[in-house]
């Protein structure tokens, strides 16, 4: 349960922070967040809102997995952990696509500066895998105990 709580908190924290800064050779700085891209002239583009939507869906799936784990429904907990890992893997693929689009834009990007918040979804992936393994182990223990009880004639 603790893994799912930490994963949900990390996903919410990742939604609130910026992910990276792209510095152009002329000194212009682009700020990439989960919901917006801030240009050097102050204009805001919402073309990266898909990153935030994927994080919101992953956080909802984690909350569902947390709720299901309270009722000891191990099968649904394992499935929600797998879904969350797949969503967060898709998040990183989408982020890579956006980074490549920024690099290949009209102005050549000199440097990319990553923030610590870019690793929060990866940590959530690790915590979801640990939650999956814990649910599988607990389910196996319960099944082993249940198979030990046999009625004798």
Output the pLDDT for position 71.
Answer: 87
Output the pLDDT for position 147.
Answer: 75
pLDDT for 83-96, tens place per residue? 999 999 999 999 99
Specify the range with the lowest mean pLDDT, choosing from 23-27, 48-52, 95-99.
23-27
Output the pLDDT for position 24.
Answer: 81
Q: What DSSP line would sit under the chain, residue for residue? A: -HHHHHHHHHHHHHHHS--EEEE-TTS-EEEE-SS-EE-TTS-EE-TTHHHHHHHHHHHHHHHHHHHHHHTT-HHHHHHHHHHHHHHHHHHHHHHHHHHHHHHTSSSPP-EEEE-GGGGHHHHHHHHHHHHHHHHHHHHHHHHHHHHH-----
pLDDT for 96-135, tens place per residue? 998 888 777 766 677 888 898 899 999 999 999 999 999 9
| Gyration radius from the chain CA atoms | 20
Q: What is the pTM of this model?
A: 0.86
């Amino acid at each position: 349960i603790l893994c799912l709580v930490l994963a949900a908190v990390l996903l919410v924290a990742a939604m609130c922070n910026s992910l990276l800064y792209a510095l152009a050779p002329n000194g212009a700085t682009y700020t990439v967040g989960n919901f917006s891209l801030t240009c050097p002239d102050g204009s805001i583009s919402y073309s990266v809102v898909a990153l935030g939507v994927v994080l919101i869906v992953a956080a909802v799936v984690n909350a569902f997995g947390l709720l299901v784990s309270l009722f000891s429904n191990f099968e649904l907990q394992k499935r929600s952990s797998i879904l969350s890992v797949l969503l967060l893997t898709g998040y990183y693929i989408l982020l890579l696509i956006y980074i490549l689009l920024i690099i290949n834009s009209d102005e050549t990007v000199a440097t990319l500066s990553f923030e610590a918040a870019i690793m929060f979804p990866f940590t959530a992936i690790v915590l979801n895998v640990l939650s999956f393994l814990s649910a599988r182990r607990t389910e196996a223990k319960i099944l082993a105990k249940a198979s030990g009880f046999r009625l004798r004639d």
